[in-house]
Amino acid sequence: MTPRKMKFWGWGYEDGLSPQVQNQVEAAMAKRFGVSEWKKTPPPVIDEISLKQPRINIPQSLKHLCTNDTHERLSHTYGKSYRDVVRAFRRDFMNAPDIVAFPGTENELINILDWCNDIHAAAIIYGGGTSVVGGVEPEIDDRYSGSVSIDLRNFNQVLEIDKVSRAARIQAGIRGPAIEKQLKEQDLTLRFFPQSFEFSTLGGWIATRAGGHFATLHTHIDDLVQSLRVITPKGVVETRRLPGSGAGPSPDRMFIGSEGTLGIITEAWVRLQDRPVYRTAASVRFPDFQSGVKAVRVLSQSGLYPSNCRLLDAGEAHDSGAGDGKTAVLMLGFESHDHLLDVWMIRALECCKEFGGVYGQDVIKTRKDSSASREGDVGTWRNAFIQAPYLRDVLVGLGIIVETFETAITWDRFEAFHTGVMEAAKKAVREISGHNGWVTCRITHVYPDGPAPYYIVKALGKPGSELEQWDEIKAAVSEAIISLGGTITHHHAVGRDHRPWYDKQRPDLFASALKSVKRTLDPCYILNPGVLID
């Protein structure tokens, strides 16, 4: 069987979406935007793209690890944000790396890093390349001789499992499905499922402080990291495996979220869980979003800790097929390897009822298989969630601006914050695109002290200016988020795209301290220039 081909210009596999579904999407969007006939841009093919000659040559000693092959250079130019896909559709690959390297051992990695240091080439660490913030794009200036994208795909093994402490030593370049496959043999799971799970890597999750699918408790990868091994241009840092420690600032925390600027994470000990046996799921409809928000706050502070507690506003519920467009919908779920969950679900539904929540036939009693989250509204939403990145690529070809942004804020400020962000987003879409467009929201994660809202923008772009229009919209909503007290990102990371607002959010003295760390670990500033710190 021939292996499925990955797109070099967008999300996932070339055959990831059937032509029938594509046609359905085009028809639905034509109706929504009142377009009689789409003027479609076809996805790029390699022969149409002219790449500049590599600025650096691969030394003889590294020829077996490095390539300047066109397909590899194209595939390593971008992450997977809307900005990235639009530029790929424009056949614009001006920031392609000069060289792509595929080390298989730490020694090989060190040799590549030494070479980058010697010739002052930028070294961009590439995990799964699913960054949505410009994290892997080799955008460099002429202070650098060129750029090398260092792909960690060969670091793809679960190396050791400690069943007693429920932990595993895992290499950083391994993708989500391979982690779970190897842990399943021992009836264990990392239980970390970002939407990009299929193609993103453990090292990428740690480097970006990624957020998984689960709505409460261990939402970020941070909580699952027990220790790290990191290669820096100045040497190796390996931290101690501990369940907890009060010994000064945490060295792990310094590298978690460092986005390839301080070192290359090669492996991590991570905390595992037993595989869930029991599951229950329900969807609850609320007359309006704010009623749902009140219920979600009570749930987040109830100590019930649902695994799924995702509140969709009416627009988002409608778009995913999980709602009628008039009511907000809460996706609720619990899971456990240990006990039946009906008592938890019953109590959670009581909380929802207090705020006008209505649940129906699809309330599912505890089951001992995964079907609980695959049926009814919950299942419909799950399918839409998995297909969404493929659909996004189709919409880009139609000239539709389609992108997300996400943040977090404490409960006491949420209502005013959400109103302000929605107003800013709708105003920006209206003024910049000339149409009303669609701005919808869901709450993806909830903490006892506040939610993480996630917004989706869809608008008809002006042909040829979609990217510039999105950049303006993004700037407007980012200003609103920062001025209203939120974070520029809850889990998508900073990268290059969020830098202006991250620089406003972080305290100045902290920025100086971070720069000192950078100078110590990467004195020639070869690691991922432009990301996080200059």
Ligand X SMILES: Cc1cc2nc3c(=O)[nH]c(=O)nc-3n(C[C@H](O)[C@H](O)[C@H](O)COP(=O)(O)OP(=O)(O)OC[C@H]3O[C@@H](n4cnc5c(N)ncnc54)[C@H](O)[C@@H]3O)c2cc1C
**Binding residue ranges:** 259-265, 392
CA proximity to 419, closest of 470, 484, 482: 484
Q: Are 267 and 307 in contact (CB under 8 A)?
A: no
Q: Is the Cβ–Cβ distance between 225 and 239 less than 8 Å?
A: no
**How far apart are CB 154 and ligand X at their closest, in Å?**
12
Looking at the Cβ atoms of 214 and 414, the one nearer to ligand X is 214
Distance between CA atoms of 441 and 452, rounded to whole angstroms? 10
Which of the residues 156 through 175 are near ligand X (CB under 6 A)?
A: 172
**From residue 215, how far is each of 175, 222, 450, 458, 508 by CA, in Å?**
21, 15, 12, 25, 32
| Residues annotated in a binding site for FAD | 259-265
Choose the binding region for ligand X from 13-21, 199-207, 352-360, 432-440 (rule: CB under 6 A): 199-207
The yes or no reply on residue 445 touching ligand X (CB under 6 A) is: no
Q: Report the distance separating Cα 328 and Cα 350, nearest Å.
A: 17
Sites for ligand X among residues 390-419 (CB under 6 A): none
Q: State the CB neighbour count (10 A cutoff) for residue 407.
A: 26
Query: What part of residues 353-392 is at the interface with ligand X (CB under 6 A)?
Result: 389
Check binding of 332 to ligand X (CB under 6 A): no
**Min separation Cβ 66 and ligand X, Å:** 17
> Is residue 149 near ligand X by the rule CB under 6 A?
no
207 interacts with ligand X by CB under 6 A:
yes
97, 103, 127, 461: which one binds ligand X (CB under 6 A) = 127
Q: Does 129 bind ligand X (CB under 6 A)?
A: yes
124 or 345: whose CB is closer to ligand X? 124
Q: Does 269 bind ligand X (CB under 6 A)?
A: no
Respond yes or no: is residue 454 known to be catalytic.
yes
454, 455, 502, 525: the catalytic one is 454
- Whether 283 and 377 have beta carbons less than 8 Å apart is answered as yes
Distance CA 531, CA 494 (A): 7
Q: Among residues 132, 170, 348, 429, which is the contact residue for ligand X, using CB under 6 A?
A: 132
Binding-site sequence positions for substrate = 392
- Closer by beta carbon to ligand X, 163 or else 515: 515
Q: Which is nearer to ligand X, 135 or 333 (CB)?
A: 135
Helices (H), ranges, 338-405: 342-354, 376-398
Task: Output 80 or 279, the one with its CB closest to ligand X.
Answer: 80
Residue 269 CA to residue 265 CA, distance in Å, equals 11
Residues from 51 through 90 that contact ligand X (CB under 6 A)? 79-80
- Using the rule CB under 6 A, is 179 a contact of ligand X? no
Token digits for 287?
A: 């007359």
Q: In the complex with ligand X, which residue's Cβ is closer, 349 or 391?
A: 391
Distance CA 78, CA 458 (A): 22
Helices (H), 15-147: 19-33, 70-75, 82-89, 106-119
Among the listed residues 72, 75, 96, the one whose alpha carbon sits nearest the alpha carbon of residue 8: 75
Pick out residues in 4-33 that bind ligand X (CB under 6 A): 11
Name the E strands within 185-272. Answer: 188-189, 225-232, 235-238, 264-271
Binding part of the chain for ligand X, among 29-37, 122-130, 283-291, 361-369 by CB under 6 A, reads 122-130
Confirm or reject binding of residue 450 to ligand X (CB under 6 A). Answer: no
User: What span, in angstroms and rounded, lies between the C-alpha atoms of 416 and 407?
Assistant: 14
Out of 97, 146, 176, 211, which residue is the one contacting ligand X (CB under 6 A)? 211
Report the distance separating Cα 149 and Cα 123, nearest Å. 6
Q: How far apart are CA 152 and CA 150, in angstroms?
A: 6
Closer CB to ligand X, 11 or 414, in the complex: 11
Interacting residue ranges for ligand X, rule: CB under 6 A? 11, 79-80, 124-132, 135-136, 152, 172, 194-196, 200-201, 203-205, 207-208, 210-211, 259-260, 264-265, 389, 491-493, 528, 531
What are the residue numbers of the active site? Answer: 454
